[in-house]
Structure 1
């Protein structure tokens, strides 16, 4: 089968499943309603957790944020290791529900408690609001982890796409502030720079499947309306200096073969290794950006989340 035939087959498969490229002509609220809203009831292996608890945490400037605590059956007696999870969606889309299954499977695979947060989105709030929220929650969690059954010395940060950006930012920001450093970082096809969108390598994505240059520019124009912020190290951690890259926690990075973010994910791993950081990475050559949201239709997505959870759980001493 040729590459074009493979891409056409993949598109048809996802179309049957009700998944389509984002239509940027739809109002933002409409896009949010469409964003990975799928029925997971057909997943026979959906993990059973000990509990899933709604909580409220303080975001930037004290803004209360909705959050969700996932406690797996194998978590053990508290306090135990925990993961702060930050969802993707280009800082415009995504919420607790769109990434609920990712968090459930990550909790099960790692045997760690997972705290997911509903940070503020653009265009209602622009840069650096999402980053301020992530930072505020991390600093709060570092002080109040025990209230959620977590050990502050065994906390990881994780996120997919834009959430991976926030996770990488938190680690670098703790170097800048000499603050409480995460014990581990799990970066799932992370978005690591907004400076040079046009040169992103995207052979199949030029067709508009899931990710396109237009979609990146859509996200950037809403979250970063001021071009002067494109190279800000908070939103483009790929370009962080040696002073913030050295001494960062161990990392595991997942990348996809059919993803314009593949190269920057691998490049970030290489930069971290050059600074003496222990990094492992895993590429899924046939997968597209966002594939971990497709557990209802992809055995690869389910196994990838379990493996990522296990790697994180071992790093935190839960397994």
Structure 2
């Protein structure tokens, strides 16, 4: 079977429309407008929430936009919460692109979810997104009760680049001796930016939603200096062992059709070797970013609720 045949069969299995990789020659703003702008109006089981509201949290260079999701089963505040960071290679993504993931995660977890709209490249480069994520964590750790979240029961979560930020926060709290999250939810996380071109990829890993060219596009915008590629803040997979000790329990999602598959499993193994409680789940037939496909995939809808349930159970909400 040829590579094109494999993709065709995969697309037909998921009932996906013809999809093209992003044209990286387009201006950044046009790419952002095209990034996962899905119509969720046709989702038959879109969750009804008690409240969804916009707010801001303090950032290192000004207020950061955020969105709070309160599920019907959240209970009397303060209760457990999830701090969520969207994916998009530190260049794309915002509150809108990951709105449905947050809604389904909130419903499945019975926890309040606070999604953060951090600064993007190329307008700002490393470590700006990481500084924003850290500021959001510090704020919710000390002021979570203001939005109904118990500071002792907060998970950090994110997909792809957002998973990088969630892992970074946990490691950074080890480095600083700061308040540690109670749980980390890493959804097909991007855990290193050091090895892209030389990484060996099988056919199913190298082209659907993500590619070597797209990696280099993201890295070139967010990490213009090669000296930063091995910085443990951007490549938490390569953090020294002492920075992995006493991290919170983790749940890691990986996909079969994803070049980040192996590094997700490798990070799970490193955490487990340090005595950290880790669970993982693989979706063999899913692509990177599949949780954004809830409008066309029942598997994605179920998975979004399931990752919420795992987190809610870890935080004692379920």
Q: TM-score, length-normalised on structure 2?
A: 0.96
User: What is the CA distance between 1:21 and its match in structure 2?
Assistant: 1.3
1:29 is matched with which residue?
29
What CA distance in whole angstroms lies between the structure 2 residues aligned with 1:270 and 1:16? 33
2:195 is matched with which residue?
196
SS of alignment partner, residue 276 of structure 2 = coil
Question: For residues 15-94 of structure 1, what are the structure 2 equivalents within 5 Å?
Answer: 17=17, 19-61=19-61, 63-94=62-93
SS of alignment partner, residue 285 of structure 1 = strand
- Which contiguous aligned blocks of 4+ residues in structure 1 show a shift greater than 4 angstroms? 1-4, 11-16
Indicate how the Cα distance of structure 1 residues 18 and 101 shifts in structure 2: closer, same or farther if over 3 A, else same.
farther
Question: Alpha carbon RMSD of aligned pairs, Å?
Answer: 1.6
Indicate how the Cα distance of structure 1 residues 105 and 240 shifts in structure 2: closer, same or farther if over 3 A, else same.
same
Q: Does 1:156 align with 2:137?
A: no
Q: Deviations over 1:24-80 (max 9, x none)?
A: 11111110000000100000000000010100111224x211100000000000000
Q: Does 1:222 align with 2:221?
A: yes
User: What is the CA distance between 1:279 and its match in structure 2?
Assistant: 0.1
User: What is the CA distance between 1:5 and its match in structure 2?
Assistant: 2.6
What CA distance in whole angstroms lies between the structure 1 residues aligned with 2:200 and 2:58? 38
1:257 is matched with which residue?
256
SS of alignment partner, residue 154 of structure 2 = strand
What CA distance in whole angstroms lies between the structure 2 residues aligned with 1:207 and 1:144? 42
2:272 is matched with which residue?
273
Q: Deviations over 1:254-277 (max 9, x none)?
A: 000010000000000000000000
Q: Is the 8 A contact 1:7 1:204 kept in 2?
A: no
SS of alignment partner, residue 113 of structure 2 = strand
What CA distance in whole angstroms lies between the structure 1 residues aligned with 2:204 and 2:26? 20
1:243 is matched with which residue?
242
What CA distance in whole angstroms lies between the structure 2 residues aligned with 1:100 and 1:246? 33
SS of alignment partner, residue 120 of structure 2 = coil
What CA distance in whole angstroms lies between the structure 2 residues aligned with 1:227 and 1:2? 36
SS of alignment partner, residue 67 of structure 1 = strand
Q: How many pairs align?
A: 318
SS of alignment partner, residue 270 of structure 1 = helix
User: What is the CA distance between 1:205 and its match in structure 2?
Assistant: 5.6
- Gapped runs of 5+ residues in structure 2? none
Q: Does 1:114 align with 2:94?
A: no
Q: Deviations over 1:234-288 (max 9, x none)?
A: 0000001111101000000000001000000000000000000000000000000
Q: Is the 8 A contact 1:54 1:66 kept in 2?
A: yes
What CA distance in whole angstroms lies between the structure 1 residues aligned with 2:16 and 2:288? 18
Q: Deviations over 1:152-176 (max 9, x none)?
A: 0000000000000000000000000
- Gapped runs of 5+ residues in structure 1? none
What CA distance in whole angstroms lies between the structure 2 residues aligned with 1:180 and 1:198? 37
What CA distance in whole angstroms lies between the structure 2 residues aligned with 1:72 and 1:207? 37
Q: Does 1:307 align with 2:306?
A: yes
1:143 is matched with which residue?
142
User: What is the CA distance between 1:20 and its match in structure 2?
Assistant: 2.8
Q: Deviations over 1:102-147 (max 9, x none)?
A: 0000000000000001000000000000000000110011000000
2:165 is matched with which residue?
166
Once the two structures are overlaid, the 10-residue window that deviates more, 52-61 or 184-193, is 52-61
